[in-house]
Amino acid sequence: MTLNAIIVDDEPAARSMLRQIITEHCSMIHIIDEATDVKSAVKLINKYSVDLVFLDIEMPEENGFMLFDYFNQPTFETIFCTAYSDFALQAFEVSAVDYILKPISISKVLAAVEKAVKMVGQNQIIQRVNVLKENLSVNKLQKIALPMADSLVFVQLEDIYFFEADGSYTNVITKTGKTLVSKKIKEFDELLANDARFYRIHRSYLINTHQIMKYNKKDGAMIEFANGYSAPIAREKVKEFDEFIASVKV
C-alpha cells in the first residue's frame, strides 16, 4: 500500500530535510507536493487524493491547527511537526495525535509514520485534534484517547477511577463502567507519568487519586471507589503510598 502525502511547512530547509528522509526511508509514502501555508495546503488536499499530511504548527498567518477549520470530515491522516516539548508532547500522546519533534531525525520520522499509517482510514483526526487543543488550552490534561479495535474512544481523565492490567490489554474503569482497550497498562503509566492525579499502586493498577473514596488498611491495603470498585495496593508500595497521601495538600 502506498500513501500519497504532502508536506506543509513555511521553511524550505525543513521541507527539504523531511522529503529526503521520507524518500530514502519510507517506501510506502509518496510525497506528491509541498505547501508553504495552510491555504496552499487546502488547495492541494482538494486537488489530489491525499492520505497523509506532514504539518508544521508554527507558520505565518494561520497555524497548522487551522487546517482543520476548512474540512468537515477530513479523510487524511496528519503528522504534526513541532518544536513543543514537555507538557505539550504529553498532550499529543494522550490525544493520540502523531508528531515529529523538531529538529527532525530519521528515527523520529519513522516512529511517527509507523503510528500514523495504522490510523489511516479511521477518519477521526478532527476529534483527536480537538482533544489535543482542549488539552493544550490549560496546563492540565483533560481527555485521553482510548484505542479500541478499529477506533478511538475519548474520555475525561477526571472520570477515570483506575486502569487495570489484563495481559496485553487494559481495563479502564470509569464512572460509566469498564472498557477493555488494546494498550498495556505500562503505556498508560508512561503517558500519565507527569500527571500528579495518577499513581501506580500495583503492577496491575494505576489509580486516579482524585477519585479515592476510602483507603482501607484492615484486610490488606485497599483503595475503594464509588460504585463498589476497589483496587489493592502492592505490599511493597504501601509505605510509599502512605507518604504520598500524607504529602497531598487538601
pLDDT for 9-51, tens place per residue?
Answer: 999 999 999 999 999 999 999 999 999 999 999 999 999 999 9
- Residue 250: the pLDDT is 45
Query: Which pTM does this prediction carry?
Result: 0.86
Alpha helices by DSSP H, the chain: 12-25, 38-47, 87-94, 106-119, 125-137, 185-191, 238-247
Predicted local distance difference test score (pLDDT) of residue 249: 58
Structure confidence by residue, pLDDT tens digits, 121-154? 888 999 999 999 999 988 789 999 998 878 899 9
Start-end of CATH 3.40.50.2300 domains in the chain: 3-137
> Given pLDDT bands bounded at 50, 70 and 90, which one contains residue 112?
very high
The three cell numbers of residue 238 are 504501601
Q: What CATH number has the domain spanning 3-137?
A: 3.40.50.2300
DSSP 223: E
Closest by alpha carbon to 65, among 146, 140, 151, 134?
A: 134
Under CATH, which number does the domain 143-247 receive?
A: 2.40.50.1020
- Looking at the chain, the domain(s) classified CATH 2.40.50.1020 span 143-247
